[in-house]
């Protein structure tokens, strides 16, 4: 998830380092943060172990969505089963009491898993701004194949693109380019 500094619709000047392997981009990300550069995001064809720590990402809040929605799903299902079998249209099954909790457990469990799973996936799509019809904005087409990109934002006047370029190249960046990103919502 990109960290944004300043207003949403301001123009951003970005410096992009393209790397050939995961060790290179991992080391460069660590070093960039040690130099207090503003790491906007890192793009890779697959998940890189340890990258979250190298980027200093905060722990995801998705587990909370999973936990709370799972709990609500389970509660709603227990209520629904009680309502259908004991309240609205009592059904006698094998002489068991109307509100036979043990019989509710398997379905409650399944619905809890369903709610927890689906809500986590949808919450993930939502916070990642992924929905049908959305145009992808690739920083470089090859990050879906065999390249890794480290994106650094030029935050203030003290930022020296020349020097940061040399820094990225010293970490085996195969290409460094500057890009101006027009403001967008």
Partner 1 sequence: MKLDFQPPRRTLRLLQGMAAAGALALAAGALVTPQRTWANLLVASFLLIGLGLAGLLFIALEYVTHAGWSVAFRRVPEAMACALPCGAAGLALVLIAGAGIYPWTHEPLHGFKGWWLSTPFFLGRAALYVLLWVLLGRSIIRTSRRQDADGEVAHTHRNIRTSIVFILVFSVSFWLASYDWIMSLEPHWASTIFGIYNFAGLFASGLAALIILVSWLGRSGPLRGFVTAEHLHDLGKLYFAFSTFWMYIWFSQYMLIWYANITEEAVYFVRRQQGAWGTLMVLNICLNWVIPFLALLGKRAKRDPRILVKVAAVGLAGRWLDLYLMVNPAVAPGPPRFGPIEVALAAAAAGIFVLAFLRGLRGAAPVPVEDPRLAESLAYHT
Q: Which residues bind partner 1 (CB under 8 A)?
A: 49-50, 59, 63, 67, 94, 96, 102-103, 105-106
Between 27 and 103, whose beta carbon lies closer to partner 1? 103
Angle between helices 101-127 and 62-82 (to 10 degrees): 150
- Cα 50 to chain centroid distance, Å, stands at 15
Between 29 and 154, whose beta carbon lies closer to partner 1? 29
Supply the minimum distance, in Å, between the C-beta of residue 21 and partner 1.
17
Supply the minimum distance, in Å, between the C-beta of residue 50 and partner 1.
6
Supply the minimum distance, in Å, between the C-beta of residue 113 and partner 1.
12
Between 67 and 144, whose beta carbon lies closer to partner 1? 67
Supply the minimum distance, in Å, between the C-beta of residue 41 and partner 1.
21
Burial 5-44 (b: 16+ CB within 10 A, else e): eeeeeeebebbbbbbeebebbbebbbebeeeebbbbebbb
Between 76 and 103, whose beta carbon lies closer to partner 1? 103
Burial class (CB in 10 A: 0-12, 13-18, 19+), 117: middle
């Amino acid at each position: 998830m990109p960290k944004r500094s300043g207003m949403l619709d301001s123009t951003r000047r970005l410096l992009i380092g393209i790397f050939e392997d995961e060790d290179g981009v991992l080391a460069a990300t660590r070093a960039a943060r040690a130099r207090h550069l503003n790491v906007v995001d890192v793009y890779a064809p697959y998940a890189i172990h340890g990258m979250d720590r190298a980027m200093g990402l905060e722990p995801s809040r998705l587990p909370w969505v999973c936990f709370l929605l799972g709990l609500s799903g389970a509660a709603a299902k227990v209520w629904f089963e009680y309502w259908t079998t004991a309240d609205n249209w009592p059904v006698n099954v094998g002489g068991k009491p109307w509100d036979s909790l043990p019989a509710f457990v398997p379905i409650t469990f399944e619905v809890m898993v369903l709610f927890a799973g689906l809500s986590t996936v949808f919450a993930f799509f939502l916070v990642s701004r992924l929905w049908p019809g959305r145009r992808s904005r690739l920083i470089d087409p090859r990050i879906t194949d065999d390249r890794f990109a480290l994106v650094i934002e030029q935050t203030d006047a003290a930022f020296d693109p020349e020097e940061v370029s040399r820094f990225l190249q010293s970490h085996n960046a195969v290409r460094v380019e500057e890009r101006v990103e027009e403001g967008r919502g």
